[in-house]
Structure 1
Amino acid sequence: MTTTKDSKRGVAIPAHTVPFPSSISVEARTALERLVGEDGSVLNAAFVTPGPDDHEGWLRMKAAVGGQYANALKGLAGRTQSTVETIATGAATVHVATPVALKASNGAYIDFHGGALVFGGGEACRTGAQMQADQHGVLCYGVDYRMPPEHPFPAAVEDGVSAYRHALERHGPENIVVGGRSAGGNIAVATLLKARDEGLPLPAGLVLLSPQVDLTESGDSFATHQLIDVVLPGSLRSSNLLYANGADLTQPYVSPLFADLTGFPPTFLQSGTRDLFLSNTVRMHRALRRAGVPAELHVFEAMPHGGFGGATPEDRELQQEIVRFVEHRWAD
């Protein structure tokens, strides 16, 4: 007798409350509690995105989220020390931040911002470049890549390659480290794939912070961490389809997890045990290892997507680990 496996079959879990653990700092626990109502509901869970074909709806949402980003950035006013200049290279906009004091005379960090492949550009990207320049003490190129609905795939990847070529004209590849967080991790990896395919030398290192490298959302944590991740409680399917614009979601430049990663530079990967993208990160780590790439995986206790907000001991420890990795890449 032949049986057919039911793709919906799995482990039934009784309804219960998942407590915040005592194994994290008081500051981290407080950061998590702020995002949950008195009844235990995740405050971000009611966030509804337009359908992938509702371009007007996405434009309205981009404007609203842009306002939220602007308000959040006010808290950073006066904290960044680096100067910044905005340039154009091809169709790409790049914010070039210069620190007050250079740690590595010819070092460069190329930064790809997050934001679900739709948000996070403009002033947020510009400020992010300054923060990275301050953190690493080198010139930082913040890539303000084009995004949908106006500019779907492959515009962002094309901008990434254009910015990378610009950096290569000014720095040796051994002096460049590329980094991306969340959606920016997708664009960072896709940029290096395309750069490699075009015969360009790859950089000295790669930093991927909870990277959105699988737009099919096929990993285990997309089921197990729904509503457990209080920052990113559910699927980004709609924005993924908007970004892909009809392209196959398993295409390597769209979902770099499925690429041949041979020849990639040493890579630092980070996630948390409550991160919706935990599966993205651990699967990317294994894919890099299978390709023979030296790769570090750092998973933080109870950390949701994007960290605890930047002001906790765990966030500071993560930043120290990133700085260590990057400085070591320039030292080799």
Structure 2
Amino acid sequence: MQGQKTGTLRLIGIAASMVAASLPAAAFGEEPEDDRIAADGTIRLDGVNVPLSQFTSPEGRAYLRHLILNKPFGTPLPDIEAERVRQDEIMHGFLKPMRERYAVAVAEEEIGGIVTDVVTPAEGISPENADRVLINLHGGGFVTGGRSASLVESVPLAALMKIKVVSVDYRMAPEHAFPAASEDVAAVYRELLKQYEPSRIGIYGCSAGGLLTAQSIAWFRANDLPNPAAVGVFCASLSGYFGGESTVLSGPLTGNLPRLSDSVAAPPAGDDSPGYLDAASTDDPLAYPLASREVVADFPPTLFITGTRSFEFSSALNSHNRLASAGVESRFHGWEGMFHGFIYNSELRESRAAYDIMADFFQTHLAE
């Protein structure tokens, strides 16, 4: 069981900002001369050779080299409001090319007493999706990402599927603690159930939003709400993020030395603010759904999206295997060389391939 608490959840927000910020298109062209890059593309970093996979796209390799060598996104700020502004700026960097690629409209709407951003395709919702809806739960370590990462996650699917996506601005730490976000998701879901059949609703999220998606299924079950048609747990698992070989390997493979080890669950130095899951027990299925066989067996069809250099790869794969063993329909897709939150960068072909799989999954499972 991979129960994570305060430190790991804050690290998610930090890692997301470091490895998932946009890179100018020019960086995908010719490689600059750099004596840290060998002829075969291997990176020499702090005495360690970091190879790049031939299965990763050329722009993916260029982006990864940039992240490993340049570490361009700085360090988190100790003041939470300032850090949220910093993270929002990173997300807005993603949105600029994304909005040029995917035409959508965004409107603020209060649903069930909760503020949401409703994202719809500029061309209009397709007839087949007129009575379908997706709910997005944004990433950001349960501390950032509201109304910024949420749009990065919502825009591609709204445009590709020609469907309405409702992104929930749920309560976060340090002002709030578990299960505040689950309560907010349930309030929005309960209200949408007045308009949509549960078999025509899908829920998904990335990073903290992926874990919150899993938590929401457990919360619905405990509060007599029906399952949605399908869920997407992206950049996360049913038990958090860390654990297994990927936690050990992802640090060196993304240039974040030293290796993650026994200290992986420690909060960043100097950060003593309350964490969202501080008071949650690791054996509480409302916080970590993988803790309960009964909850796992009741999951709707589930899609996992991750990358081989992401610290959640092993935990996501483990969750996929557990669902499959319980007889639940589960799909697992991992992209070679990709890192935590790679889907935030729409300029990568790996991200666009992931969007297509997400769209196909939900289009298939939301009842006709």
State the TM bucket, normalised to the shorter chain.
0.7 to 0.9
User: What is the alpha-carbon distance in structure 2 between the residues aligned to residue 252 and residue 166 of structure 1?
Assistant: 24
Q: CA deviation at 1:253?
A: 2.2
- Assess, with a 3 A threshold, how the Cα gap between structure 1 residues 79 and 273 changes in structure 2: closer, same or farther: closer
Mapping of residues 46-125 of structure 1, within 5 Å: 47=75, 57-99=79-121, 100-102=124-126, 103-125=128-150
1:292 to 2:320 alignment: no
- Assess, with a 3 A threshold, how the Cα gap between structure 1 residues 48 and 129 changes in structure 2: closer, same or farther: closer
1:167 to 2:202 alignment: no
Over the matched positions of the two proteins, sequence identity in percent amounts to 27
2:58 counterpart residue number: 26
Q: Is the 8 A contact 1:229 1:305 kept in 2?
A: no
1:225 partner SS: helix
Q: Is the 8 A contact 2:302 2:331 kept in 1?
A: yes
1:19 maps to amino acid: P
Q: CA deviation at 1:180?
A: 1.2
1:197 maps to amino acid: A
1:178 partner SS: strand
1:256 maps to amino acid: P
Q: CA deviation at 1:112?
A: 0.9
Per-residue CA deviations over 1:80-124 (Å, capped at 9, x if unaligned) read 433333222345222222332324221111111111221110244
Q: Is the 8 A contact 2:237 2:315 kept in 1?
A: yes
* Partner residue of 1:311 out of 332, 339, 347: 347
1:35 to 2:67 alignment: yes
Q: Is the 8 A contact 1:92 1:163 kept in 2?
A: yes
User: What is the alpha-carbon distance in structure 2 between the residues aligned to residue 119 and residue 175 of structure 1?
Assistant: 29
- TM-score, normalised via structure 1 length: 0.82
Per-residue CA deviations over 1:29-64 (Å, capped at 9, x if unaligned) read 1111111227xxx556x73575xxxxxx33432233
Structure 2: state its 5+ residue gaps: 1-46
1:268 partner SS: strand
User: What is the alpha-carbon distance in structure 1 between the residues aligned to residue 57 and residue 281 of structure 2?
Assistant: 42
Q: Which structure ranks higher in relative contact order (CA pairs < 8 Å, sequence separation ≥ 6)?
A: 2
1:184 counterpart residue number: 209
* Partner residue of 2:315 out of 270, 280, 285: 280
Q: CA deviation at 1:140?
A: 1.0
User: What is the alpha-carbon distance in structure 2 between the residues aligned to residue 176 and residue 323 of structure 1?
Assistant: 13
- TM-score, normalised via structure 2 length: 0.75
2:350 maps to amino acid: E
2:267 counterpart residue number: 238
Q: Is the 8 A contact 1:108 1:171 kept in 2?
A: yes
1:83 partner SS: strand
Per-residue CA deviations over 1:169-224 (Å, capped at 9, x if unaligned) read 11001111111111101111111111112111111111111215434833332222
Mapping of residues 123-202 of structure 1, within 5 Å: 123-126=148-151, 128-202=153-227
1:122 partner SS: coil
1:95 maps to amino acid: D
